Structure formats: C-alpha cells, structure tokens
Chains A and B, each alone.
Chain A
Amino acid sequence: MNSGIDLQGSFIQTLTEFGLPQDVARALWIPLPMVLVVIGAVVGVLVTVWLERKVSAAAQQRIGPEFAGPLGVLQPVADGLKLVFKEDVTPNKSDPWLFTLGPILVVIPVILSYLIVPFGQNLLITDLNVGIFLWIALSSIAPIGLLMSGYSSNNKYSLLGGLRAAAQSISYEIPLALAVLAVVMMSNSLSTIDIVEQQSGYGILGWNIWRQPVGFLIFWIAALAECERLPFDLPEAEEELVAGYQTEYSGMRFALFYVGSYINLVLSALIVAILYLGGWEFPIPLDQLAGWLGVSETTPWLQMLTASLGIIMTILKAYVLVFLAVLLRWTLPRVRIDQLLNLGWKFLLPVALVNLLLTAGLKLVFPVAFGG
C-alpha cells in the first residue's frame, strides 16, 4: 500500500520554501484540518436534516420541504437561522450555569470524536494509537451533559428524560464496545487507519461486514440507541416526556442539542462505514486495477483519483447508513423502557460476547481470513 497524498508534509514544505520556520509552518497547519472537519460536520448536519425530512416525506407519500431553495435544500439553513435568532429562555428557578453547560458537554465530545474519522490514507486529523477506543470513551461523556441539562431544567420531564438518556447510553455502550472489540481483534490495532487497511485489498469481499455480520448488526443497533434514534428515542418520547431533557431548551442551546444529535448520527454512520464497510475503500480494489492497466501506483493523477474517490466513498457509505436509519425510523415503533433495557442487557450483550468469543476462535483457526 502506498502512502498516498501527504497534505501536511506538502503544506509545511511549501511554507518553509517561502522562508517560514518549520515550527511556524506546523503551527499554521494545525488549525486547518480541525476547522475543515468542523465545517464538514456542520454541513453534514445540514445535509442530514434535509435528507431526513425529504426521506421521511417520501416514506409517508408527502413532498417535504419544497419552497426554500431548489427541492427545499435551504430549509435546514432556514431552521438554523430561526434557532439562532430565537429568544434564549432560561426557565425560572433553574440552574443557569448547569443549564448552559449541559448542551455544550453533549456537543463537544461528539465533535471531538471526528479526530479519528479517516477519509483516506492520510486524510484524518490524527492517527491515534487508541483510535476507536477514544470514540467510545468520548461518547461516554455525553450522559453527563444529558444528566446536567435534565437536572438543571427544574422540570420533572427533563429530569426523567435525562436519567433515561443516561441509562440508555450506558447500557448500550457495552455491546457497542464488545462489537468494536471483535473488529479490533481482527485488525490487531485500535487505530482506525489500521482497521480500514486490514479490510483493503479484496475490494468489497474484504470488508468486515462479511466476517462480522452479527457484529455489524449489534453495532448498528447499539449506535442507533446511542444516538437516540427513533426505535430507541424514548429519552425524548413525546407522548410520555414532552421532549425529555430538551423540554426547557430553546434558541441556540436547543440548537446545540439538535446539531449534536445529528452530528452523532453522521459520526456513527461514518464509524460503521469504517469498521464494517471498508472505510474509504472502493468496492473494486483500485490499486490492483491500476496494476493490471499498467499505471504506476505513484502516478499523481491516480493518487488524486483514489484520494477523492476515498472521500466520496466514505461519505457515500455513511449516508447510505443514515438513509437506512431514517427508513428504520418510519418502520419501527418506539420500544418501551423495559424492552429497551431487555434488548440491551439480555440480548445484545450475550450475543456480542458470543460473537467476540467466536471471532477469537476463528482467528486462532483461520489466521489468514481473520487477522493473524
């Protein structure tokens, strides 16, 4: 596998050629991918909101947003603007500090998790050794924010919603982590880059979904529960809890929750794409194709092509999964809290454990196919 394009290296090199010291060039580089990823995440949210509304409309034989821009693509922007200009109410007798801090604590870990999402061989912010484990750890901060906002709202629905949300995300973290562990066991590394590399080489046949079908399902169910998507959206079940922990929020603070939940959805979809659907890999192994056609791996245009195709493939896979989540939303009714916990503890957890054990066994028996 060639190293592909090294954007950081070339950027720093260009700046040092202009006469800047190496350190300054590096310091100038550092914020660039972060800003890019934050912008990408926000744009991703806008796209997801639009997609959700359009797909929901189609599933219910409606039209959906239509008048704001062509096909209503500007509708999420309009929604966002509305939320920005809306009055930001702090309820009476609430705790203003915790009330403000809650949504922030929910959003920041989700955005931080984009650190480890690779869009290509070198197209990620940092290739951490603990990679995917960092995502699991960061996603466990969110319940604190939910509890905080639920507690500080001075509202029984908020408190119950916050407690439910925290209980839900704690109990689904475990099957999630176990499903990830099985994948990690096969790739011998927690780094997202290594996990994708381990799936590369055979095109669509090498993807982890064929080796971990059960793990894929467990992960996707648990990820939906972590994002509080519809079959599991009981922390904000309208019929019981008004809007759960978001009940008292309005304006920008509500927008933070809203953005956070959608970023989380896109992030989960991206992580599923990385863990099970081969990340940036094209369904046909491009390198071998280039080899057969007699194009060298180091040809600049080929590298450009693979890099851009990688970004497109990652996002495409993620959005296919988002589409699936929206379809699931209109297919399945909401589960009750006891069904939710039963599913998490009595079904997903044992199945995930068996899956882990099987993976370990298969790894010992067939080290070629399951990562030696």
Chain B
Amino acid sequence: MFNFLKQVGDYAKETVQAAKFIGQGLSVTFDHMQRRPVTVQYPYEKLIPSERYRGRIHYEFDKCISCEVCVRVCPINLPIVDWEFDKETKKKKLNHYSIDFGVCIFCGNCVEYCPTNCLSMTEEYELATYDRHELNYDSVALGRLPYKVTQDPMVTPIREFAYLPKGVVDGHDLPAGAQRAGQRPEAIAAQSSPDDTDTSD
C-alpha cells in the first residue's frame, strides 16, 4: 500500500517537474519574441564578407607563368592551363586559363601555392546562373573584380560577426563609431614595430 502511494507520489512529482520544465521552455520562447530579428534582408542588405572570405577566385593573366602548380595542388586538378612552348623565346606561352566554379570547392589551395600571386580570393559569392556552363570562367571573366558591397548604392552593408564590437551579435543599428573587437592591424603594427629586432627573415 505504501509502496503504491510512493509510486503515485513520485509520478506526481515527475509530472510537476515536467510541467515546470515546459514552463521554463515557454518562457525562453517568449523571451525570444522581444529580441530584434537577426534577419538580413538579402538583396537590399548584405553582409560585408570577412577579410579571409574565400569567394570567387580572381586571376591575373599577365602574372601567370603557366607553372601549373595550381593544377597540382588542386584536389581535383580543376584549373585548365592551356599553354604552348614558344621555341623562339624558349618560354611557355599561355593561351587560355579557366576554372569551372560549378566544380570548385573554394579551398584556396591554388591561391596559397601560386608562386607569382596571380591567383587571389575575392569576396564575391553571388555566382548563380541559369546554365551551369556559364560557371566555367575563362581568363577574362576571372580577371574581373567584384563589386564591393560597401560601395553599392543599392545595398545597405551590414557588418558581419567578425567586424562587430565585443558582445554584439547583430549588425543592425550600430552606433556610429563602433569598432570591431580587438585591435586594428595598424595598431598592432605600430605596437610591434619598435621592438621587432628579432625578426628571423
């Protein structure tokens, strides 16, 4: 009999506890309602990509020496380097260079290893097309510079998480002089320049 009563009591206690937890959950959900939406209204507002954003690859035709390092470091040997050996000058002559961004995974290995720095990452990510073959960029298309978000008059730039002050998670309605967390590169350079005697290079 007491055992049964104890069981009933335990069950009731568990029920009350479950109800309490549901109440806590409800209060959390309710609390979220008064917070500002984090929505970025995309075509009208855009996030500023971070400094190390790995977007579409930019390529400078004139700098390229057709060494094919980019092809070798690419996980799938994606870049196509079309060169021929010019017997008169005894140098490689580059005809075409192209990367298919429908296949590229934007790992940035080619940029990392390019000996002449003719490859670089841009902050362009709007690559949508109607035909996947249009994603196969040739050297001219690769040489175009993307439009900066901050300079587009149609777009309100919103700072990304990396550019926000400490403790702020939303890029909307920032005060005018709000700086990002930590020091800016200039400050770090100014700080380290007096005593960089122990440089190893």
The answer to the question of B178 belonging to the interface, with a C-beta cut-off of 8 Å to chain A, is: no
Please tell me if the beta carbons of A332 and B22 are within 8 angstroms of each other in the complex.
yes
Please tell me if the beta carbons of A327 and B26 are within 8 angstroms of each other in the complex.
yes
The answer to the question of A210 belonging to the interface, with a C-beta cut-off of 8 Å to chain B, is: no
Residues of A within 8 A of B33 (CB): 55, 58-59
Q: Which residue of A lies closest to B170 (CB)?
A: A61
Q: 1/0 contact trace for B14-58 toward A, CB 8 Å?
A: 010000001001101110110111110100000000000000000
Residues of A within 8 A of B37 (CB): 57-58, 61-63
Residues of B within 8 A of A55 (CB): 33
Tally of A-B residue pairs with Cβ under 8 A? Answer: 35
Please tell me if the beta carbons of B39 and A330 are within 8 angstroms of each other in the complex.
no
Expressed in whole angstroms, the minimum distance between the Cβ of A224 and any Cβ of chain B is 12
Residues of A within 8 A of B36 (CB): 61
Give the contacting residue for B25; candidates A58, A61, A331; CB below 8 A. Answer: A331
Expressed in whole angstroms, the minimum distance between the Cβ of A300 and any Cβ of chain B is 41
Residues of B within 8 A of A328 (CB): 26
Give the contacting residue for B26; candidates A57, A61, A331; CB below 8 A. Answer: A331
Please tell me if the beta carbons of A330 and B29 are within 8 angstroms of each other in the complex.
yes
Q: Which residue of B lies closest to A66 (CB)?
A: B41
Identify whether the interface residues of A are mostly helix, strand, loop, or mixed.
helix
Expressed in whole angstroms, the minimum distance between the Cβ of A125 and any Cβ of chain B is 35
A347 to B25, CA, bound (A): 21
B contact residues, range: 10 to 19
Expressed in whole angstroms, the minimum distance between the Cβ of B76 and any Cβ of chain A is 34
A327 to B25, CA, bound (A): 10
The answer to the question of A60 belonging to the interface, with a C-beta cut-off of 8 Å to chain B, is: yes
Expressed in whole angstroms, the minimum distance between the Cβ of B134 and any Cβ of chain A is 29
Interface residues of A in 322-343 (CB under 8 A from B): 327-328, 330-332
Q: Which residue of B lies closest to A329 (CB)?
A: B29
Residues of B within 8 A of A327 (CB): 26, 29-30
Expressed in whole angstroms, the minimum distance between the Cβ of B84 and any Cβ of chain A is 55
Residues of A within 8 A of B32 (CB): 58-61
Interface residues of A in 294-311 (CB under 8 A from B): none
Residues of B within 8 A of A331 (CB): 22, 25-26, 28-29
Q: Which residue of B lies closest to A55 (CB)?
A: B33
Give the contacting residue for B29; candidates A57, A59, A63, A347; CB below 8 A. Answer: A59
Expressed in whole angstroms, the minimum distance between the Cβ of B36 and any Cβ of chain A is 7
Expressed in whole angstroms, the minimum distance between the Cβ of B8 and any Cβ of chain A is 10
Residues of A within 8 A of B25 (CB): 331-332
A57 to B25, CA, bound (A): 17
A-B CB contact pairs (8 Å), 15 listed? A55-B33, A58-B32, A58-B37, A59-B30, A60-B32, A61-B36, A61-B38, A61-B39, A62-B39, A331-B22, A331-B25, A331-B26, A331-B29, A332-B22, A347-B15
Q: A57-B37, A63-B39, A347-B15 are in contact. List 8 more A-B contacts (CB 8 A).
A: A60-B32, A61-B35, A62-B38, A327-B30, A330-B29, A331-B22, A331-B28, A332-B22
Q: Which 4 pairs between the two chains have the least Cβ-Cβ distance?
A: A331-B25, A58-B33, A331-B29, A63-B39
